[in-house]
Amino acid sequence: MSLINTPSLRTLFDPKSVAIVGASSDPVKLGGRPIDNMKVAQYQGRLIPINARSKEIQGLAAIPSLRDVDEPVDMAVIVVPQPAVRDSIQACIEKGVGSAIILSSGFAEISEEGAKEQEYIRAMAAEAGLRLLGPNCMGTMNANTGMIATFAGLMGQKPQAGGISVASQSGAFGGHCFAVMRERGYGLNLWATMGNQCDVEFSDCLAYMAQDPKTDVVMGYMEGIQDAPKLIEALGIARDLKKPVVLMKVGTSDVGSAAAASHTASLTGSDAVFDAVLRDFDVHRAKTVDEMFDVAYACTAKKFPTKKDLGIITISGGVGVIMADAATEQGFDLPPLPESTQKRMKELVPFAGTRNPLDVTAQLINDTRMMQPMFDALLGDGGYTNAICFMAGVGLNEKMMQALHPSFEAVAKKYPDRLITFSALTRNETRKPVEDLGYLVYEDPARAINAMAALVKFGEAFHGGKVRQAPPALPTGAPSVQAGMEVNEFDAKKMLGAAGVPVVDERIVQSADDASKAAAEIGFPVVMKIVSPDIQHKSEIGGVLLNIESEAEASAGFETLMDRGRSAVPTARLEGVLLAPMVKGGVETIIGVQRDPVFGPVVMFGLGGIFVEVLKDVTFRTAPFGLDVAQEMIRSVKGFPLLDGARGAPKADVDALAAALVAVSVFAAANADTLESIDLNPVLVRPRGEGCVAVDALIVARSA
């Protein structure tokens, strides 16, 4: 069952009539700005000012009350003081309004009393089927219809319509995005800010925008997550429709998380987990505002290559090196041009660097006719899927750009399927003609290459034939974790073993005599560990004995461990001693599960020792997942070469390790409501074909 009702959001983005409750004759005041904005943008629908004290508002006939309007109203924009909002919502309900935007503040973002009032109006609206955006938000826009229901200023300019839709939890940041797009000439489709999200959330807007046929890319800004399943559904909608999503999520630091929580009253969750979710849904997570705009703008070209090769033309050898470095860092291949092509380029420009980058020096400025042969060398002879041309300040010279235009046009017509970027300083009048031909234009070539890399990732996700493998079912008979239960190491391994996780063969004993017998049956050497639900970290109290070589040592070891357990934790419940074969060799790894407060059980993988303790070289995925995701996790850690036969060591059994990861993820998902954490440390991975084994295990159930 869908959690998102996108048809109910139609009146928020495409209303045929808009009433402004609290309308003002002053276009500078909050109640006047939406009216002024829609007049400037030439709103195509009916605009109805509501004001009991004026007969006319900004040239439009005013109506005293929403209840007095004698025609249907799709959307109401409420700009009245907080105490008057409740009656305005009641009037919307009586009138049968489809949606209401509450620009007014003074609710959950201010106080507990404000939160109670917010909940009251939310419940009123929900019962009547009225959708609410806000309160404490900046509203919505539709650049195609001129519906600008916000107090963000237009600076007297009608918004340029285009393919970028913007969803922002923060009103101020949403306003900043709109201003940046206006100044850079980027085309806007839909725009929304959510404020307190008492009803309509970020996820609702993301899903609606992704489904809108005029949206090429959704650019989003998040501070927290109210409803993780709804967010996952929205991201799934965008992915299934092959609509790229470029997202900024703040709150990555402890200080940032606290600030976001106080601002939005949302859970921020673990940032590493959020990263994992975005990877699962092929979302590009931007680290900076510039990166967010660079990638969103790139997506408007609607070219998503599946190959990561790059050809470079430059008039500067130094910048060519900068671009080559940036390309390599982003994983691009820079194959050399064919020898015959290099020879021809040398004949054309004797002092050129002809390998790739193709450094044609300032000769390209002296003879603009060389532009097309240069691109033919890359895109024709070289067959590159992606190309970039750097020309420094040439883009500021209108005459030069006019001279180059026929070449730009010919190349675009000859290679319509290629992703081509032009990097130069430009003005709007010199940039726009090149963009209209299908080129992307950036001042900074390194930023251009970063954006191109993002397009390739989208291409691989949308058109690369990648289909996620479904996780297997939990094996029949696998036990369940019960809330409040206490699980010792022995029982934890039994439970995980039944779920398909490879564990060591071991015994638990309650006497010294049984310890000696069990050790002989297992075969020497053995390891002995204290067993107690009250002692989770056994090694810290000396509760682990290694390399036990005889029955006598096993018998004495039992007494030693029991004495240490009683001395270290006098109140501990001692359930006996665990004996297991002493596993030697293999690469030490760690598999863990932690319940994230937002996304539920999350599986962690990393290599042992310094990699996890010092370098924090770990990766996360939400549970459950299939073998393909498990393999990606293993290969994504920096220490992977140790599993892949570094320095002549045998390659480890990565396939067995991936299967263990999948089994843990399925078990964790099956017990999502009752499981707090799992710790498998270490999991020893033997050479290929010999499997892997969990040597130690800890399961912590949630409180009853």
Superfamily of domain 505-581: ATP-grasp fold, A domain (3.30.1490.20)
Q: Which of 121, 166, 173, 170 is nearest to 13 (CA)?
A: 166
Paired with 164 in beta bridges are 188, 217
Least confident range from 20-24, 66-70, 358-362: namely: 358-362
Given this model, what pLDDT does residue 255 score? 38
> What does DSSP assign to residue 379?
I
For the cut 60, the answer to whether the pLDDT of residue 300 exceeds it is: yes
Q: How confident is the model at residue 265 (pLDDT cuts 50, 70, 90)?
A: very low
**Is omega for the bond preceding 525 within 30 degrees of 0, making it cis?**
yes
Mean of pLDDT values over 177-200: 96
Whether the Cβ atoms of residue 463 and residue 306 lie closer than 8 Å to each other = yes
- Average pLDDT taken over every residue of the chain: 92
Whether the Cβ atoms of residue 85 and residue 135 lie closer than 8 Å to each other = yes
Q: Which of 218, 419, 423, 435 is nearest to 303 (CA)?
A: 419
Superfamily of domain 310-463: Succinyl-CoA synthetase domains (3.40.50.261)
Q: Which of 110, 108, 113, 112 is nearest to 132 (CA)?
A: 108
Least confident range from 87-101, 477-491, 609-623: namely: 609-623
Given this model, what pLDDT does residue 218 score? 98
For the cut 90, the answer to whether the pLDDT of residue 629 exceeds it is: yes
> What does DSSP assign to residue 419?
E
Given this model, what pLDDT does residue 252 score? 60
Nearby residues of 367 by Cβ (< 8 Å), 6 or more positions away: none
Given this model, what pLDDT does residue 438 score? 95
For the cut 80, the answer to whether the pLDDT of residue 254 exceeds it is: no
Whether the Cβ atoms of residue 401 and residue 430 lie closer than 8 Å to each other = yes
Q: How confident is the model at residue 62 (pLDDT cuts 50, 70, 90)?
A: very high
CATH 3.30.1490.20 spans which residues of the chain?
505-581
Whether the Cβ atoms of residue 150 and residue 161 lie closer than 8 Å to each other = no
Given this model, what pLDDT does residue 47 score? 97
Tell me the fold of 587-701.
D-amino Acid Aminotransferase; Chain A, domain 1 (3.30.470)
Given this model, what pLDDT does residue 349 score? 84
173: its two tokens: 């940041």
Whether the Cβ atoms of residue 310 and residue 333 lie closer than 8 Å to each other = yes
Tell me the fold of 6-299.
Rossmann fold (3.40.50)
DSSP string of 395-415, one letter each residue: GG-HHHHHHHHHHHHHHHHH-
Tens-place pLDDT, residues 81-101: 999 999 999 999 999 999 999
Mean of pLDDT values over 571-597: 91
Q: How confident is the model at residue 339 (pLDDT cuts 50, 70, 90)?
A: very high
Q: Which of 283, 255, 258, 257 is nearest to 271 (CA)?
A: 257
Helix (H, G, I), strand (E, B) or coil at 199: coil
**Which residue matches tokens 């020497």?**
524
Mean of pLDDT values over 328-338: 96
Mean of pLDDT values over 551-559: 96
Angle formed at CA 458 by CA 455 and CA 464, multiple of 5 degrees? 120
Hey, how many other C-beta atoms are within 10 angstroms of the C-beta on 193?
A: 31
Given this model, what pLDDT does residue 260 score? 37
Whether the Cβ atoms of residue 447 and residue 290 lie closer than 8 Å to each other = yes
Q: How confident is the model at residue 262 (pLDDT cuts 50, 70, 90)?
A: very low
For the cut 90, the answer to whether the pLDDT of residue 245 exceeds it is: yes
Given this model, what pLDDT does residue 507 score? 92
Using CA atoms, how far residue 102 sits from 91, 97, 149, 217, in Å, is: 13, 13, 10, 27
Tens-place pLDDT, residues 654-690: 999 999 999 999 999 999 999 999 999 899 999 999 9
Tens-place pLDDT, residues 377-412: 999 999 999 999 999 999 999 999 999 999 999 999
For the cut 80, the answer to whether the pLDDT of residue 266 exceeds it is: no
For the cut 90, the answer to whether the pLDDT of residue 248 exceeds it is: yes
CA dist., res. 311 & res. 303, Å (int): 16
CATH 3.30.470.20 spans which residues of the chain?
587-701
Q: How confident is the model at residue 253 (pLDDT cuts 50, 70, 90)?
A: very low
Mean of pLDDT values over 260-280: 63
CATH 3.40.50.261 spans which residues of the chain?
6-299, 310-463
